[in-house]
Amino acid sequence: MSQARAPQRVPVEERLFSLVLALLATESGLSKNEILSTVQGYRQRYSPNGDNANLERQFERDKDDIRELGVPLETLEAPGQAGNNQNLRYRIPRGEYELPQDLTFSAEETALLGLAAMVWREGSLSGESRRAMIKLKALGIDTGEPVLAYAPRVRVRDEAFEPIGAALEKRQVVRFNYLKPGESEASVRTVAPLALLQFQGRWHCYAVEPETGERKTFLLRRIVSQVAATGATYDPPAEDSAARGLRELQEVWAAHVAVVKALPGTDAAARLHKRRGADRADDGSLHLNYVDLNIIADELAGFGPEVVVISPPELRAAVRDRLLAIAADHEGADRG
């Protein structure tokens, strides 16, 4: 008796790209059911007559992700059904997403763009994306002219992403070296990965330590060794680990607030005002939520004199240390 094959695993970046592609290709928008049943990355796990609650939650997270990337995702109410959230339709208006018509590139700029495109995996629409477009047409949705002449696929920069993703698929316990900020030596971590999470543009591994049962979140960029399978396997929890991991990251983000002042009219002021959740106080200061003190310290130090950190004290000290280190490096270079 043959066993049913598990749904094909589709990389996160391919699923997000396919979603953007589909939403660009429609003027009237797509319903959630049409997206889940036709778009690459969802349709493999879609059940026509079953429970798609986990898939719907994945779609909600993906909407947040592509909006954070600056993609203008619109939500439309069905005609005559105002207030009915079950029949909402989604689209990306091409006029807001495409480059302005008066924007042109020189030969040198075009060459650089070509070089940048070489780091993407594909130079034309994949077969899976074509099949998704065909299915959308079969629904009677006009996809219009081709969205792109070529459709690059984003590569994940963190080297740990693919081996952890493979371990997730096989339910394998893994081991890696993890370097925390402020420590000179990395520590060995043995974990059972439960989910790969993208939060605030960075990838994290939400995992449980088999020996202690403690759940932890690891920033992939801080994994400084190869990710090795230990040979042990594990049974994943019944709950939605991705949802729990994102919820915990959101709680950490909400609990940490930096108060800064940015010089008006500077690049820092423009960029920091656009950060998710940025709140301007009456005194002109900005309140910024963050997850990782060291990451936001790196970001704020990069603005140099355009930003002054008011609080918390530990963030102010971290930014000051970075600026002093930069100044010392430049003094040493001048003497050399």
Please determine, looking at this structure, whether the domain spanning 161-238 carries the CATH number 3.40.1000.
Answer: no
Give the end-to-end CA distance of the chain in Å, rounded to a whole number: 75
**So what's the pLDDT on residue 169?**
87
**So what's the pLDDT on residue 333?**
54
The DSSP-derived string for 302-320 is TTGGGEEEEE-HHHHHHHH
Per the CB < 8 A criterion, the answer to whether 60 and 111 are in contact is no
Q: Output the furthest CA–CA distance in the chain (Å, rounded).
A: 77
**So what's the pLDDT on residue 335?**
57
In the chain, where the domains are located: 12-138, 161-238, 256-335
Per-residue pLDDT at 3 exceeds 70: no
**So what's the pLDDT on residue 81?**
63
Count of other CB atoms within 10 angstroms of residue 101:
7
Count of other CB atoms within 10 angstroms of residue 315:
23
**So what's the pLDDT on residue 8?**
60
**So what's the pLDDT on residue 25?**
84
Going by C-alpha positions, the residue among 296, 299, 304, 295 that lies closest to residue 323 is 304
Q: Distance of alpha carbon 316 from its chain centroid, rounded?
A: 27
Going by C-alpha positions, the residue among 243, 248, 245, 268 that lies closest to residue 258 is 268
Q: Alpha-carbon distance 256 to 268, whole Å?
A: 20
Grade residue 94 by pLDDT with cuts at 50, 70 and 90: confident
**So what's the pLDDT on residue 122?**
41
**So what's the pLDDT on residue 68?**
75
Average pLDDT score over residue span 31-46: 89
Per the CB < 8 A criterion, the answer to whether 213 and 168 are in contact is no
Q: Alpha-carbon distance 81 to 99, whole Å?
A: 34
**So what's the pLDDT on residue 320?**
95
333: enclosing H helix or E strand: helix 313-335
pTM: 0.55
**So what's the pLDDT on residue 145?**
45
Per the CB < 8 A criterion, the answer to whether 202 and 221 are in contact is yes
Per-residue pLDDT at 241 exceeds 60: yes
Q: Pick 62 or 69 by higher pLDDT.
A: 62
Contacts of residue 228, Cβ cutoff 8 Å, sequence gap at least 6: 174, 175, 176
Q: Which residue has the tokens 């002021």?
A: 269
**So what's the pLDDT on residue 101?**
63
Count of other CB atoms within 10 angstroms of residue 216:
16
**So what's the pLDDT on residue 115?**
52
